[in-house]
């Protein structure tokens, strides 16, 4: 079939991409806000209260874990989803993308995505957030692909565990490199956008890294290396 052949030919051409972190880079939001959006919409009041109290109780531990390791933080934090129904999480995915993320989208981020599309770049979200939220979010923005964390489910309910690899820090680089090999992406001609020191491995694996609203550590590294430091608002 001709359309299939054309698609295969496009895939075989060496292309460039734009890779985006989401929390703090494209949106002024984070995985905690997204979880609270879900938790506050649990059908039973007792479930809502229980999940909110649990998240509050463990918040000091999450803060310590995030300083130590973003991977550890993700593993600990996503345990909050344990017991949630797969069907409900998926059904609410687009609502969460629209209400908890799109409403917090930086205007400059949308302009950047539109510009990358004009340049013909393959646009890819690389996020520690969940795929069931990132996929509708990417669709709304016209972003081509999503590399995101996936919850494990048993009997239709979340176990609270993430399916490896956990997308954070060095694993982002590993996943991007695997994607580039599979999709024939030239990373030396590609772009990456991140806001945190945890995004450094992702930024280092492309030819054109960009620090967006960076934390102090990333800003210092970016300026030392001559990378663009861009404020999104």
The residue written with tokens 């990333």 in the block is: 218
**Span of 56-60, 98-102, 118-122 with lowest mean pLDDT:** 56-60
CATH number for domain 2-230, candidates 3.10.129.10, 2.40.30.10, 3.40.50.1000, 3.40.50.300 = 3.40.50.1000
Name the band, by pLDDT with cuts 50, 70 and 90, for residue 233.
Answer: very high
* Rounded Cα distance, 142 and 132, in Å: 16
Is 72 within 8 Å of 162 (Cβ atoms)?
A: no
pLDDT band of residue 59 (cuts 50, 70, 90) is confident
All residues at 6 or more sequence positions from 221 whose CB lies less than 8 Å from its CB, including other chains = 197, 200, 211, 227
Q: Which of 118 and 8 is assigned the larger pLDDT?
A: 118
The pLDDT, as a whole number, for residue 5 is 35
Q: How confident is the model at residue 77 (pLDDT cuts 50, 70, 90)?
A: confident
Could you read off the pLDDT of 203-232 as tens digits, one per residue? 999 999 999 999 999 999 999 999 999 999
Q: How far apart are CA 18 and CA 125, in angstroms?
A: 8
Nearest to 142 by CA among 124, 119, 167: 124
Q: Above 90 in pLDDT, residue 6?
A: no
pLDDT at 38 over 90: no
Specify the pLDDT at position 68: 64
Pair 55, 80: CB distance under 8 Å: yes
Which stretches does DSSP call E strand in 76-231? 122-130, 145-149, 151-154, 157-162, 191-194, 208-212, 229-230
**Percent of the chain whose predicted confidence (pLDDT) is above 70:** 90
Q: Residue 43: is its pLDDT beyond 80?
A: no
Residue ranges per domain, the chain?
2-230
């Amino acid at each position: 079939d001709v359309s299939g052949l054309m698609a295969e030919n496009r895939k075989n051409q060496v292309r460039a991409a734009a890779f985006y972190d989401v929390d703090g880079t494209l949106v002024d939001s984070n995985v905690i806000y997204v979880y609270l959006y879900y938790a506050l919409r649990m059908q039973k009041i007792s479930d809502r209260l229980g999940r909110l109290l649990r998240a509050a109780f463990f918040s000091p531990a999450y803060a310590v874990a995030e300083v130590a390791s973003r991977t550890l933080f993700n593993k600990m934090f996503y345990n909050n989803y344990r017991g949630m129904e797969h069907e409900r999480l998926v059904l609410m995915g687009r609502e969460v993308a629209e209400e908890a993320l799109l409403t917090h989208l930086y205007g400059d981020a949308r302009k950047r995505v539109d510009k990358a599309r004009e340049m013909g770049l393959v646009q890819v979200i690389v996020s520690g957030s969940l795929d069931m939220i990132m996929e509708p979010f990417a669709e709304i923005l016209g972003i081509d692909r999503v590399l995101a964390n996936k919850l494990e489910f048993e009997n239709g309910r979340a176990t609270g565990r993430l399916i490896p690899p956990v997308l954070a820090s060095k694993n982002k680089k590993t996943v991007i490199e695997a994607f580039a090999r599979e999709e024939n992406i030239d990373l030396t001609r590609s772009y990456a956008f991140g806001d945190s020191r945890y995004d450094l491995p992702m930024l280092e694996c492309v030819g054109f890294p960009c620090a967006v609203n960076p934390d102090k550590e990333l800003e210092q590294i970016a300026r030392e290396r001559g990378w663009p430091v861009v404020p999104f608002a």
